[in-house]
Structure 1
Amino acid sequence: MHLNVHPVAAGHHPGAWRWPGADPVAFSRIEGYLDVARTAERGLLDAVFLADVPGLHADLTDYPIVNGLEPTLVLTAMAVVTERIGLVGTASTTYNEPYNIARRFRALDLISHGRAGWNAVTTSGPRVAGNFTAHEPDSAERYARAQEFVSVVRKLWESWAPDALVTDVASGRYADMARIRPIDHHGSHYDVAGPISLPPSEQGYPVIFHAGVSDSVRTLTARTGEVMFSAVVDPDAALADISDIRSRALAFGRPAGSVLFLPGLVTSVAGTEEEALERREELDELSGNEGALFAVAATLGLDPGDLALDRPVPEALRGGLHRVGGHARAVARLALEGRTVRDIVRRGGGGGHVVAVGAPEQVADLIQTWFESGAVDGFTLMPDVTFDGLPAFVDEVVPILQRRGLFRTAYEGSTLREHYGLALPDVAPRDRATVPRASAERITSSA
């Protein structure tokens, strides 16, 4: 199976910032991120996955919904202190230009020697749109732009042949410009001449991720994605999701197994089930009733004042939940089942992700059940509290998965594509000596 980790500031639980020993402003400090990268690599995880929203998109008075530092800057710092772990960053296709994203992630891929991934998202919401434009594109426009955006980025990444750099010191010939091709893209949204200014990495180009559960995300993933991050709460729904996406991918002419499905898994791990439940309850108390209500209300687009922690979502408000999409779909399903708000929080809260609370063996059992059902290719771990939750998983759960033959005991390759078992793109150099490595090796050795 494959395991990523998705660290968010102090942790994924709303009460994480108040947990003893946690750093309340971890989202703005690089040290915690570097600790995550080192710990994840010690656990042989596939990648660190960083989400991002380019703006302050929520009220921070009581509940710290904030983004961290800009992902590619953080991942570049992580690249210097690690050797194998994959490095996946989010960047919006709505509020960027293809050339800038292609160049930024190509640079990260070269700096890390082929460990980069790009999570291409469309980004929505008036608070973010107001930072860039007076007109927020509707969903159809955002996804049409995204499809072309990803296509342009890939064309730019493919604009250098693997053998374009000659670097013949004796003859003085540095590059074969016939092997560095303009892309001359002229589309509905972008006109880009190209080529890009950097050669391919050891893995050719970064692994392409998409995130979400909407129909538009599924189509985009089936067409261009290689890994999907999503929110699910039960194996049957997850199996239906991945089956649908893979069917669409086949319809686009892509081979079977082109897309890996790694949904989120919120973890609360302790020595015993009782201790894990106590940990979760203490975190719930730290977040306060207001935090729990806010999380569910924000996800479902409801007023927190209309909810009560130990009551279901009022019947009068459930009608609109049938139309809820995206990550909120899983939470809406729980609400439509008549579960109390408290139960909704415990089963995934505002994020709609499956929650694993228990002793290491119990968490491993849950992961194994999902994986062996064929519903997932693994998970993207979302520790309740980052600084102690991730080490608990790495030190206690990973060894159990290894003993059961479900997870690697050593990295077999050095690139992210090798970790995931993904094929090299056609432009990827087969001879790694064709990629200049001297400057990056100097950085690593001096760190």
Structure 2
Amino acid sequence: MKTALSLAALAVTTASLAIAAPAAAKPGDPIKVNDDLTIDPIIEGNLRWEHVDQDDLGRDADAVTMRLRAGAEATTHGLSLLAEAEGTLAIGDHYNDTIPGNNGYLGAEPYSVVADPQNVELNRLQMAYQGKSAKVTIGRQRVILDNARFVGNVGWRQNEQTFDAIRGQAKVGPVALDVTYSISQRTIFGVDSPNQHFDGNMILANGSFDVKPLKITGFAYMIDYDTRVAFSSQTFGFLASGAVPLGGGAKVNFKASYANQQDYKLNPVHYSADYINAELGASLAGFGIKAGYEELGSDGGVAAFQTPLATLHAFNGWADLFLTTPANGLRDYYAGASAKIGNAGPLKGMKAAVVYHKFKSDYASIDYGQEWDASLGFAVAGYPVLLKYANYDAKAFGTDTGKLWLQVSFKY
């Protein structure tokens, strides 16, 4: 890749700065003001370089962005108030941030997309009450359900996804219930984007029964957009997951999920599509392997299963070619391995992972392509550092895509 030397230089510079810097303060307990009031400060940041190389574009994208979040949560007698601001600075902006008109371009900028626009916004502003077995939260808040496959905060991107909502959570023994009513999805695209938020009526219901080693969750997600009506849908399904210890530190992990999705409210396209996911893995002495199959079905090529509230980067390849499911649907056959390497000099807690994906359509069995993903994470002087790579080899969908990331973060 043309930027291999740049990557090496940036990696050395980042590690050198981290070694020279004082150790990051460990996130501690909230500050006790008096017997009844505590204040928990929120200070965190993430510096990232992202490089994108796509064959159908003449100019590679290079984004250097810095994200900061700052705020505080005050708590007294179970009642809490949280306020948090979020800002992203585009230090190097040779990328398409998806906002028309930025940097003088009236249309799309002549680079590949990196969806981290420069941005300053109110990320969260919420009030909550926590009882012995229940909690109610109202306001702009983070909502992550299960593994974030259907509802998440899009935590990989610099600007976080939150919701203007009221949320109730309760847990009695092995039974838990989580219900959210939201009127607005606050997206990752920033305050200057026409897609800054999508309003509507969203009911997100999730109930689980956890009896080790098995946890079964049922869910119902009804999304009624005001304007984004092509993504209005009703989804009902379940997720079963767990881990079985085998002795000697070994264990087997499993996951199985099924859901059906249909059009809802103002969606002009009538369809019914299924979702299937099955995954089996094993781990021993810091090493892990997994293999799985995920299907986002299609109704005869008319429309496909969509997950518009999900943390999509975590699924179907880090190159992000399938953020919107093609009309013919998607079948993802994947396998991966991971290892906890440990310490190597100043590099602490090293972890590595590699994942392979083979993509096909659900309808007509079209060969979309394949992808390799790899990551290496470690801490230097208390600062987490992450190096990631994704390479998508296109067949009948998208274009050959290579992505490279290097980031360092802190949290107090």
Higher strand proportion (structure 1 or 2): 2
**TM-score greater than 0.5 by the shorter chain:** no
Higher helix proportion (structure 1 or 2): 1
Q: What is the TM-score with the length of structure 1 in the denominator?
A: 0.27
Q: Which has the higher contact order (CA 8 A, sep 6+)?
A: 1
